Amino acid sequence: MKKFFVWAVLVLFLFVSGPALAQTGKPSGEPIKIGGSLGLTGVFAEQSKWIKGGYDAWVEEINQKGGLLGRPVKLIMYEDEGNTDKAVTFFERAITVDKVDLVFGGYPGTINVAIMPLCEKYGMVYISMGGHMKSFQQGYTYSFGSPPLMADWADIAMLGIVEDLIPKKDWPKSMALLTMNNVIGESTRRGLHGVAQKLGIKIVVDELYNLPLSDATPLVSKARAQRADIMCCLSSFDDDVMLTRAAKGMNYNPKLAFHSIAPAQPAWMKELGEDGNNAITFHWWNARLKYPGNDAINQAAKRMYNLPAAPTYFGFGYCWLKTLEVAVKGTGSLDNKKIRDYLRSRSFDFPYGMGVKFDEKGLPPPYAIVTQTTNGHNEILWPKDQATAKLAYPKPKWSTK
């Protein structure tokens, strides 16, 4: 029994120190290594899959064009199962064992929140969607959201829709807020409260619910009873689907169906079909933006998945690595400190926006891209100069087939 123990501890010790000893004296190798982890299994698998696709697309493109600083790029990606504890360990593995030159962004927000301080300590630039506003307010200098996922900017979206796209005489008068109890939901709700006050819209229903949602009926029923002009589903995919189907089921036709980010997922239109149309949502990158670089993204998505337009998180992943690329090329080096300073020193044209200048938090100036789901596409409604479709207001009634 005790012998077993001795062997166990010795094996453990060797396992731990062996590779450590073996690492010394190994040559640094030609390819530029970009490392980190994503959760391709577990509850965040779907989005992680798209992000990985975006990363792969960028790697393929850059290697075809002669590499980064003349060297090929290699991704070292570990599987964290969406688990914060594992993500922290794997990012450290990438940084301290694989000795990667650069680090890529993880997913989702809660993991990013833990990785941002980690990269701060290791002095590695971390470009990701971030972990919402508070994570960018911790004084980290190495973190950037390029683009970020910033539900706190939801007010920009709603203001844009109402003020720019709807004639004043037709402005909606009432709003029903159905909000999931998490950071995204809370931030969006706060923003919309501010907008409602500014535009004189009455909030007639204001319900928060814990995830996972078991029954959408009471929530939508309240909104319907109040005949709210705007139905806001500040939800994740599952509950947004439930709320939307319930609205159809009880023949509730709001003038505007405003959603959080769920309808931007490809599964929304694919699975809901016609019922998923005319969902107004907002995001921070869209395949139809006319900014430079989006053609490459869409072509890659078509090649890899045979999709007409790149999914949101695919574009996100590509943009995050693109940002790294721009800074590496700009500084001509892989020195993370130089890259960080470069990113903070000037403005850039990215596939998600022109003239982007990062503030002291590492965020671009507040913005949002408002879209409307239409027959399989996320058409852009706002900003107006990027619009690819017109807002269907009031929302067409549910089809009864």
Partner 1 sequence: MRDSILELSTEAPRPRVNTSRAGLIAVICLILLASLPLFRPPLFFLSLLISIFLFVSLTESWNLMGGYAGYISLGHVVFFSIGAYTTAVGMNVFGASPFLTAVPGGIIAGAVAAIVGYPVLRLKGAYFSISSLLMAVIFQLVFLNWTFVGGSTGLWYKLMPVSIGANRAIFYEVMLGIALLTTLVVRHVERSKFGAGLITLREDEDVARTIGINTAWLKLKAFILGSFFAGLAGGIYGYYLSFIQPDITFNINTSLLILMMAFFGGCMTWTGPLLGAVLLSLTNQLIVTFIGAEISRILYGLILILLMIFMPNGIVEFLRARRSPR
Partner 2 sequence: MELTFLAESVISGVLLGGIYALLSVGFGLTWGTMQVLNISHAVFAVLGAYVAYWCFVKGGVDPLLSVPFLAFLLFLLGGAVYRVVIRPVTKARDTVMGSMVVSFGLAIVVENIMSGLWHPDPRILKPSYTDTSLFIGEMVIGKGPLIGFAMAIVAIALLYAFLHHTFTGKAVQATWQNPTGAVLVGINRDRVSLITFGLSIASAGVAGVAMALIYSFYPSVHNDWTLYVFLLTIVGGVGSIIGTALTGLLIGLIMGVCAAFLPFIWVNILLFALLLVILLFKPEGIFGL
Residues that bind partner 2 (CB under 8 A): 41-43, 45-46, 49, 181, 207-210, 212, 214-215, 217-219, 221-222, 225, 237-238, 241-242, 245-246, 248-251, 265-267, 270-273, 275, 398, 400-401
Indicate whether 62 belongs to the interface with partner 1 (CB under 8 A): no
Least distance to partner 1 from the beta carbon of 47, Å?
Answer: 15
Q: Tell me whether residue 47 or residue 323 sits nearer to partner 1 (CB atom).
A: 47
Task: Report the helix count and the strand count for the chain, using DSSP H and E.
Answer: 12, 14
135-139 CB contacts, 8 Å cutoff, 24+ apart = 135/109, 136/361, 136/362, 136/363, 137/361
- Residue 104 beta carbon to partner 1: minimum distance, rounded to whole angstroms: 15
- Nearest of 352, 311, 264, 314 to residue 51 by alpha carbon: 314
Name which of partner 1, partner 2, none residue 7 binds, using a CB cut-off of 5 to 8 Å depending on partner kind. Answer: none
Query: 53 or 185, CB closer to partner 1?
Result: 185
Burial class (CB in 10 A: 0-12, 13-18, 19+), 215: exposed
Q: How far is the CB of 347 from partner 1 (least distance, A)?
A: 30
Give me the least distance between CB of 245 and partner 2, in Å please.
5
**Residue closer to partner 2 (CB basis): 40 or 157:** 40
Q: Which of 44, 50, 55, 78 binds partner 1 (CB under 8 A)?
A: 78
- Spatial separation of the C-alpha atoms in residues 196 and 175, rounded to whole Å: 8
Using CB under 8 A, count the residues that bind partner 1. Answer: 51
The stretch near partner 1 (CB under 8 A) out of 94-102, 234-242, 325-333, 355-363 is 94-102
Q: Which is nearer to partner 2, 247 or 324 (CB)?
A: 247
Q: Which neighbouring-strand residues pair with 203?
A: 175
Q: Is 249 in the site for partner 1 (CB under 8 A)?
A: no
How far apart are CB 92 and partner 2 at their closest, in Å? 25
Kindly state the smallest distance separating residue 400's Cβ from partner 2, in Å: 8
Answer with the entry of partner 1, partner 2, none that 96 interacts with (C-beta below 5 to 8 A by kind). partner 1
Q: Does 77 bind partner 1 (CB under 8 A)?
A: yes
214 lies in the site for partner 1, by CB under 8 A: no
Q: How far apart are CA 274 and CA 243, in angstroms?
A: 15
Q: Identify which of residues 121 and 346 has a Cβ nearer to partner 1 in the complex.
A: 121
Rounded distance between C-alpha atoms, residue 262 and residue 358, angstroms: 27
Q: Cβ contacts of residue 331 below 8 Å, gap of 6+?
A: 338, 339, 342
Partner interacting with residue 199 (select from partner 2, partner 1, none; CB below 5-8 Å by kind): none
For 17, residues 6+ apart whose C-beta sits below 8 A from its C-beta are none
Handedness of CA 354, 355, 358, 364 (dihedral sign): negative
Please give the Cα distance from 144 to 105 (Å, whole number): 10
* Sole binder of partner 1 in the list 66, 96, 170, 397 (CB under 8 A): 96
Query: What span, in angstroms and rounded, lies between the C-alpha atoms of 118 and 124?
Result: 9
Decide which of partner 2, partner 1, none touches 375; Cβ closer than 5 to 8 Å per partner kind.
none
| Structure letter (DSSP) for residue 221 | H
CB of 86 or CB of 173, closer to partner 1? 86
Helices marked H in 125-250 — which ranges? 154-159, 183-199, 217-225, 237-249
Name the DSSP letter for residue 152: G
Q: How far is CA 149 from CA 133, 153, 154, 206, in A?
A: 9, 9, 10, 23
Kindly state whether residue 13 participates in binding partner 1, applying the rule CB under 8 A: yes
> Which of partner 1, partner 2, none lies near 250, with the C-beta cut-off 5 to 8 A by kind?
partner 2
Which amino acid does the sequence have at 323? T
Site of interaction with partner 1 (CB under 8 A): 1-2, 4-6, 8-10, 12-13, 15-17, 19-20, 23, 40-41, 77-79, 81, 83-86, 88-90, 92-93, 95-97, 110, 113-114, 117-118, 120-122, 132, 134, 138, 181-183, 185-186, 210
